[in-house]
Chain A
C-alpha cells in the first residue's frame, strides 16, 4: 500500500523532504509501523515526536483517532508537524 508522509518545519529539515511516498508490503499497517520506517530512515521516533509535535492521518489528529494504533489505508496521508500553541 502507498502512504504519503508530509513533513513540516523541523521535521522537513530532518527528512529533507516536504512530502514523501512509502510503499509498504504489509496490508495491515498502523501509525506505529510507519514510524518504525521513519525511525530507521531519519531517527524520527514516535515517542519523541508526540509530546512536542502533532501527528495527523488525513485531516484528523491521531489523538482523535486511535492514537499510534490508528490503522492506515492505501492512499492515506500522515502529517508530522511541531506543536502549535497560538500567539
Chain B
C-alpha cells in the first residue's frame, strides 16, 4: 500500500520471557491512524485493557514513530508513546524529540512495544537489526544524565538514549522518560519503565528510510526550511519563553497556585531577562532549523553551575505557580527534574499546591522536613523536588500525584489544580474560555496540547472572542483534531505550518513520501484518533463527570488583570461542553455515538 515513509514492522520485546520478535504492521492501521500517537493508541486499544494496573507487569510501553520521523524534512524528530499512566491511572499519550525516534526508524522499525517485567535490572540496545537485552545492574540507581552518558559510548549521542531516573525507581508517579535533555514528560511513564526493571533503551540506526519519490520529497522538504526559519524566528531567539511576560499581561498566567493570573515577579523570569543573564546557546532536535531550546547556565549565587533549558511551561509551573521569580532557581529545578527524571510541569503545580497548604497552615515545617515552603521560596522548591524524588517527608505523598493526594487529603481537593489527575499547564482558562474545554476534554487529562492550544485563535480570530461562550466547542474540536494528526506524523508541532499542516491541510509532502495521498484525509484521521482515545478512556470509566474543571476556576473570580472578574461558572462550562459534545457527535455523557464512529470508520470497535 505504501512505497515509502514506513518500515512496515515493529519490535516486540517481552522482558519476562526475554523474547525479541519482529512483527508486521497492518498497513490498513497506518492508513487509518498514520503512526505516532494515532497508531500507538490503536495498539493500546487492543492490548492494554481496563483493569490493567499502570505499574503492573501487564502494562505495556507502546512507542511508534510517524511516517515523517527520521526523513530529511525539518524537525522530523518525534516518537509517540501510549501506556497506562501511573499519574492519571488511565490512557496516556506522550511524545518526545531528540534523536531516538529517527534512529529507531533507521534501524528498520516503525515502533517498539515493551511488555512484561525483567527479573533483574536490564537495558536494551538496538543497533539496526541487532537487538540485545543487557544486564543493567551497574546502571540502576544512576541519574538520567549518568546513564545517557554511559550509553552514549555504545550508540553515539546522548539523545539516542531513552532512560528513567532515580525518581522512577522509587515509583514517583510524576516520573519522566528522558531522551538526552528532551523529555517524554507528562503522565509518569518513567515509573512504568522502571516497574519493568528496565533502565534505558539505546538505539543506533544506520539504514535508509524508504521514500516514494525522493527527488520531489527533498525539494518540498527543502522549501519548507526558509519558511519555518522566518516564521519561527522568535522561537529561535527566545524559545517558548517568549510567552511568559505576554501571558501575564493577558491576565492568564497562573500564579501562586492559580490564585491570580498576573505575576508581579514576571520581569525576572521573562525571556529577555533569561537571554541577558543566563543564555548560553540554542540546541536543536533532529533536523530542526528552529532550535528553540535555550540552554541556560547560572553564573553566580547559590545555584551557580546549574544548567538546563527551561521552556514556557516549565517557567510557568516552577516559576509563577510557585510564586518564584528567581530564574536561577527555575534553571536549577529544571536541571534536577531532568537529572532525577521528573516532569517539570506536574511537579511545579503540585509544589504550588503544597505551598498554598503551607501558607494556609494546613501543613507545617514538621511535614516538609524543616522547609519553609512558602510561595516564592526557590530554594525550598528545589529541595522539595529532591524530597519528592526520594519520597521523603511530605514528598512521599506529593509523589503520588493529584489523585493520590486527593484520596489522602480529600478536604484539600479545592486547592488541587488538575483534570483526570493531570495537573494543569501554565494558562488560566478564566482568561481564555476555550482553554477550559482544552483542559476538560483532553484525552490525557488537563493538557494544553492534546486538548487543543486555543490562545492564538481566541486572541486573534474575529470569530472567537476570548471571553465568548458560543463557538468554543467547535473551535476546540478543530484544534484537537489538527493536533491529533500532527502528533501522528512524527514531526514537532512548531514546524507544522512549513509543511502545510494546519486545520486545512495542503501540500504533497506525504504523497511524495508514502505514495499515498493522505493530505485530504488528515483532519478525518485527527478526528478518528481523538474518538479512538475517547473510546479508550470511556472504557476506563471517564465520562462527562470527569471532564469537569477544578473548583477554583469554577467558583473564584479572577481578582486582577485583563481577565478581572471572569470565572468559568458551571453554567458557562456546561454550555460550552454541550456544544463541544454536539460538534464531536458524542452523547450527553461524552460517549461517541455509533453514527459518528461509523462515519470515522471506527465501527469495528463498537
- Chain A residues proximal to chain B, CB less than 8 Å: 6, 8-10, 12, 54, 58-61, 63-64, 79, 81-87
Select which of B240, B251, B271, B292 is within 8 A of A9 by beta carbon: B271
Please tell me if the beta carbons of B234 and A9 are within 8 angstroms of each other in the complex: yes
For the complex, give the distance between the alpha carbons of A83 and B456 in Å: 8
26 of the cross-chain contacts (CB-CB < 8 Å) are A9-B242, A9-B272, A12-B272, A54-B459, A54-B460, A59-B466, A59-B563, A60-B465, A60-B466, A61-B459, A63-B462, A64-B462, A64-B465, A84-B455, A84-B456, A84-B459, A85-B231, A85-B232, A85-B235, A85-B494, A85-B497, A86-B456, A86-B493, A87-B235, A87-B292, A87-B494
- Chain B residues within 8 Å of chain A by Cβ, number: 31
Type the 1/0 row for B151-192, where 1 means its CB is closer than 8 Å to any CB of A: 000000000000000000000000000000000000000000
Minimal Cβ-Cβ distance residue in B for A53: B234
Please tell me if the beta carbons of B249 and A86 are within 8 angstroms of each other in the complex: no
B164 → A minimal CB distance (Å): 25
- Chain B residues proximal to chain A, CB less than 8 Å: 231-232, 234-235, 238, 240, 242-243, 245-246, 249-251, 271-272, 292, 312, 453, 455-456, 459-462, 465-466, 493-494, 497, 562-563
- A82: chain B residues at CB < 8 Å are 234, 242
Select which of B231, B246, B455, B563 is within 8 A of A86 by beta carbon: B455
Please tell me if the beta carbons of B493 and A87 are within 8 angstroms of each other in the complex: yes
For the complex, give the distance between the alpha carbons of A2 and B220 in Å: 51
- The interface residues of chain B, by DSSP majority, are classed as helix
B371 → A minimal CB distance (Å): 33
Please tell me if the beta carbons of B465 and A81 are within 8 angstroms of each other in the complex: no
Please tell me if the beta carbons of A81 and B462 are within 8 angstroms of each other in the complex: no
Please tell me if the beta carbons of A8 and B494 are within 8 angstroms of each other in the complex: no
Please tell me if the beta carbons of A8 and B246 are within 8 angstroms of each other in the complex: yes
A55 → B minimal CB distance (Å): 10
For the complex, give the distance between the alpha carbons of A6 and B242 in Å: 15
Minimal Cβ-Cβ distance residue in A for B235: A87
Please tell me if the beta carbons of A8 and B245 are within 8 angstroms of each other in the complex: yes
Please tell me if the beta carbons of A79 and B460 are within 8 angstroms of each other in the complex: no
Contact of A84 with B494 at beta-carbon distance under 8 Å, contacts A12-B272, A54-B460, A59-B562 already known: no
For the complex, give the distance between the alpha carbons of A54 and B246 in Å: 11
- B466: chain A residues at CB < 8 Å are 59-60, 64
For the complex, give the distance between the alpha carbons of A48 and B242 in Å: 20
A57 → B minimal CB distance (Å): 11
- A64: chain B residues at CB < 8 Å are 461-462, 465-466
Please tell me if the beta carbons of A81 and B246 are within 8 angstroms of each other in the complex: yes
Please tell me if the beta carbons of A10 and B234 are within 8 angstroms of each other in the complex: yes
B244 → A minimal CB distance (Å): 10
For the complex, give the distance between the alpha carbons of A4 and B460 in Å: 21
Select which of A59, A63, A81, A87 is within 8 A of B461 by beta carbon: A63
A20 → B minimal CB distance (Å): 15
- B238: chain A residues at CB < 8 Å are 9
